[in-house]
Structure 1
Amino acid sequence: MNKPIRTLSLFCGLLFIVLLGNATYLQYFRADSLDNSSLNRRVIEASFARERGAILVDGEPVARSVKADDRYKWQRRYPGGALYAHETGWFSYFSQSGIEHSQNSVLSGDDSRLFLPRLADLIGSGQPKGGSVELTLNPAAQKAAYDGLQALGTGIQGSVVAIEPTTGRILAMVSLPSYDPNQLASHDLSKVAAADKRLEGDKAQPKLNRAIRTTLPPGSTFKLVTAAAAIENGLYDEDSQVPAGATYQLPQSTSVVHNSTGSACNPATITLKYALEWSCNTAFAKIANELGTAKMKKMAEAFGFNDTSLEDLSGQVASVYPGNLDAPQTGLSGFGQSDVRATPLQMAMVAAGIANRGVVMRPHLVDELRSPDFDSLETMKAKVYKRAISSAVARQLTDMMVGVVEEGTASTAAIPGIRVAGKTGTAQTGRSDISNYAWFTSFAPADDPQVAVAVMIQNSQRSNGEISGGGLAGPIAKAVMEAVINK
């Protein structure tokens, strides 16, 4: 064999080996990821040809499939519409999101636990069906949260999250503005593309789930973390005298911290309980500087900052407490400013951890997975995320938060006959073109907590003088707590 033929033979052999390797890689190693890819049209078209399982809230479908008179056979419908859009997501020819995406294997019927039902359908010539997913949401709490945000008027951007403290079950998760997932599930692909383009181009970002994807300065609601660190580290307790005053010049800086509650915080020293009740910025800035960045960061992370915890709904971003803050920034962090950022879910976890005697449970949205015949495939168990503080510290914080509602800045969240624990927050943006953020976090009943709530108002279409956590967010939290307690 001459040299050119030998070279050509070796080259062809090499090409054959590369081709064989690529085929093996695609068909074996990447088979699962390609099957589950949102870009795999063959798999998606096959999914449209079978009845997809329902997504349920309290036994009622908020997403289901109905027969269609077209090539796809089944049409996805969302009776819950905008109310549950950020949880259900959508299922379309182009893409999937929310629970439709994270629980796709069960809903489509491809989950390995549904092998026997699929086999029975095959033998009996029946049409294959998907399993159903029951969510943890409380419909009354979800509606109270949605209606509460809507009542603030047009152009509202905000979110509400409610958690069952002892289990981590998410009882409400609302983000406004919202959208109608039915528009993205149509079989008219040109209409779907137009609707998606319109939503993506909307500056208000209706597809954004602010509950888990938007981080903002949490303002004075973060004082709960600062107070927890002060008590846990033995620096103060709720009855200790702490330094306060009308102003506080941050160390190594010319910046001065002021209070926003009139003269209530003017005395040179006050109790820690009183400082929380009247949300004294000067006191918590000084406490944060006494503790230092390391201890503040450690406590924030004990509640869930700098981490993600929600496993059954994709897209959660981590709330942030930086580890490289200088002294002035550490002081500002004591009342939720500087570079501290939190999601509504995170601040609900802070309240829930205090309510649950210091133990933060891992939040979850999926309650149970079921077969097409409604046999249980899996019931989700409560999981401990972290112990943030001791039960003794949690009791002190609870007493302090009850004082905030009964004696301080959170009277708008008071429920007659029930002890409510709460904390207001108004985070300053420092910009004239962006309004301040209103926050509120709470739980009730304080003696036997059933629900912990966080409310965040990102854009209220109001002047800064009209924005406060107690005024805007407190009544919404109250309505959500009442919906759960009075169920």
Structure 2
Amino acid sequence: MNGPIRRLAAVITLLFTSLFVSVTYIQVINAQALNDNPRNSRTLIKERSRERGEIKVGNKAVATSEPVDDEFKFLRKYSNGALYAPVTGFYSLVNGNPYGIESAESEYLSGTSDELFIRNLSSLLTGEQAQGATVETTINAKAQKAAYDALGDQDGAVIALDPETGDILTMVSKPSYNPNKLASHDTTEANQLYLKLAADDLDPLINRTIGQLYAPGSTFKIVTSAAALTDGRYGADSESGLTGVARLDLPETTATLPNDTGTVCADGTPTLREALEESCNTTYGQLGMDLGQEAMSEQAAKFGFGQSLTVPQNVVKSSFPTGLNQPQLAQSSIGQFDVRATPLQVAMLSAGVENGGVVMRPNLVSKITSADGKTISEPTPEKFSEAVTSDVADQLKSMMVSVVQNGTGKPAQISGVTVGGKTGTAQQQTGQNPDVWFTCFGEKDGKKIAVAVVVEDGGRAGSEAFGSTVAAPIAKAVMEAVLT
């Protein structure tokens, strides 16, 4: 009899032990994960009962929480929703908040950040409703609208930086979307719209300024020029044996690399300045091969290629390929083959040149304040890298100014403003129109800006598109909004 009793007791003990372990795991170890699960309606209701902080552009709130008569108490509202969607993202009951400032600064906006604990505890003791913090962005409202309007119905992206601080002044991505509909408390409607946007071949939910990679085309010649000037064998205006033939014979293959015009550059023997002015492919293809993969890779990395960035949203890494043979290196040196860059990365090229060779870390948030107006966080300008020496930067700056004064960048000229830039026409697969680029800097009376524009598939110009005719006027409009 004792044997069966002992076995029964062992089974009961095992069951109680299993129950104890299970309860401990659920209530202690896995508690946070369960609490954070987006399907946990109690968590959603608790979070929605707290007024989420505003997102501001200048003195204007572009994302607010409005009281509503339902269990969630507050509904997220976005003014000029499509204009600022790449900046704000959206806050949704059914799809979380995976985009924009709503995601990157969610702990502050929701009021759950550790830095807000004391303030929220005080509110609890006084019976007041705790509130989230306000996030103030670096966006320039006038420049943002100028970029949005100038891009028009074309797909692409426009981003602008303050070269001296890294502040992001514009962040426009098209096609865009209306975040208000995604924030709806009608979960069926919100989910259907999200699924529709997510399945759209044009990817309107993607913030193209930081989340999309493109072949940068001839804008990458800024990097190749920097590597050449750093090498020491080449100067902006010196006779350095550069070739400007109409078509460059590539080693190890029967393929050739032609100039877009099909003609020679500067009588076949250009200076580096002339080659940049005319965007001479053969010059830069040969130059890249002469410099070598190591020099090209190192220079690209100094500008940010391959480096991790948050602004505070995560930025997709731009890349310069490795393991290249000579023909591939020639193609890569003009921003083709497998070179890929975000518009932010291309803007950082111009910003670094304008800022004496120093690239500042890009940043979208100027200040975070509590509901009672106290400053919680205020980022200060931070150096990201020294891409080139000040001497090389001066030469590059002069060369880019020449591009706008005498070369392919003439459409970006602004009276009374010093403008330097570089065009780009990035070839895609056979049958596709090129993506067209313009990146530039502008300065007037101590004010400075760096801009990058990409228009996908040639925009309205289609197969006839060039960076000079399609992208440069958009960059010009952004510069005028800030500098004039």
TM normalised by structure 2 equals: 0.94
Q: Which amino acid is the alignment partner of residue 76 of structure 1?
A: R
Counterpart selection for 1:135 from 125, 137, 145: 137
Counterpart selection for 2:168 from 167, 170, 173: 170
2:8 and 2:442 mapped to 1: Cα distance? 79
Provide closer, same or farther for how the CA distance between residues 51 and 273 of structure 1 changes in structure 2, counting only shifts above 3 A: same
2:83 and 2:427 mapped to 1: Cα distance? 29
Q: Does 1:384 align with 2:386?
A: no
Indicate conservation of the 8 Å contact 2:354/2:397, yes or no. Answer: yes
1:481 and 1:15 mapped to 2: Cα distance? 72
Provide closer, same or farther for how the CA distance between residues 250 and 64 of structure 1 changes in structure 2, counting only shifts above 3 A: same
Q: Does 1:191 align with 2:193?
A: no
RMSD: 2.1
Report matched runs for 1:283-298 at 5 Å: 283-298=283-298
Q: Does 1:179 align with 2:177?
A: yes
2:299 and 2:381 mapped to 1: Cα distance? 23
Equivalent residue of 1:382, what SS?
A: coil
Question: Which residue number corresponds to residue 395 of structure 1?
Answer: 394
Q: Does 1:475 align with 2:473?
A: yes
1:14 and 1:248 mapped to 2: Cα distance? 79
Counterpart selection for 1:226 from 224, 227, 247: 224
Q: Which amino acid is the alignment partner of residue 467 of structure 1?
A: A
Q: Which amino acid is the alignment partner of residue 287 of structure 1?
A: L
Moved over 6 A (4+): 1-5
Equivalent residue of 1:367, what SS?
A: strand
- 1:6 CA displacement: 5.8
Report matched runs for 1:93-132 at 5 Å: 93-94=93-94, 95-96=96-97, 97-132=99-134
Provide closer, same or farther for how the CA distance between residues 429 and 122 of structure 1 changes in structure 2, counting only shifts above 3 A: same
- 1:240 CA displacement: 2.4
Aligned residues: percent identity? 44
2:158 and 2:277 mapped to 1: Cα distance? 23
- 1:445 CA displacement: 1.3
Q: Quick check: 170-179 or 19-28, which moved more? A: 19-28
Indicate conservation of the 8 Å contact 2:416/2:444, yes or no. Answer: no
Question: Which residue number corresponds to residue 90 of structure 1?
Answer: 90
Provide closer, same or farther for how the CA distance between residues 120 and 278 of structure 1 changes in structure 2, counting only shifts above 3 A: same
Q: Quick check: 113-122 or 339-348, which moved more? A: 113-122
Q: Which amino acid is the alignment partner of residue 141 of structure 1?
A: A
Indicate conservation of the 8 Å contact 2:156/2:456, yes or no. Answer: yes
Provide closer, same or farther for how the CA distance between residues 193 and 396 of structure 1 changes in structure 2, counting only shifts above 3 A: same
1:129 and 1:484 mapped to 2: Cα distance? 34
Q: Does 1:415 align with 2:414?
A: yes
Question: Which residue number corresponds to residue 440 of structure 2?
Answer: 442
Provide closer, same or farther for how the CA distance between residues 250 and 24 of structure 1 changes in structure 2, counting only shifts above 3 A: farther
Unpaired runs of 5+ residues, structure 1, are none
Equivalent residue of 1:270, what SS?
A: coil
Counterpart selection for 1:147 from 135, 149, 153: 149
1:385 and 1:460 mapped to 2: Cα distance? 32
Indicate conservation of the 8 Å contact 2:444/2:483, yes or no. Answer: no
Q: Which amino acid is the alignment partner of residue 197 of structure 1?
A: L
2:33 and 2:244 mapped to 1: Cα distance? 57
Question: Which residue number corresponds to residue 250 of structure 1?
Answer: 250
Unpaired runs of 5+ residues, structure 2, are none
- 1:144 CA displacement: 0.9
Provide closer, same or farther for how the CA distance between residues 4 and 346 of structure 1 changes in structure 2, counting only shifts above 3 A: farther
- 1:66 CA displacement: 0.7
TM normalised by structure 1 equals: 0.93
2:346 and 2:2 mapped to 1: Cα distance? 76
Question: Which residue number corresponds to residue 45 of structure 2?
Answer: 45
Indicate conservation of the 8 Å contact 1:439/1:457, yes or no. Answer: yes
Indicate conservation of the 8 Å contact 1:303/1:360, yes or no. Answer: yes
Provide closer, same or farther for how the CA distance between residues 349 and 4 of structure 1 changes in structure 2, counting only shifts above 3 A: farther
Indicate conservation of the 8 Å contact 1:435/1:463, yes or no. Answer: no
Indicate conservation of the 8 Å contact 1:419/1:447, yes or no. Answer: no
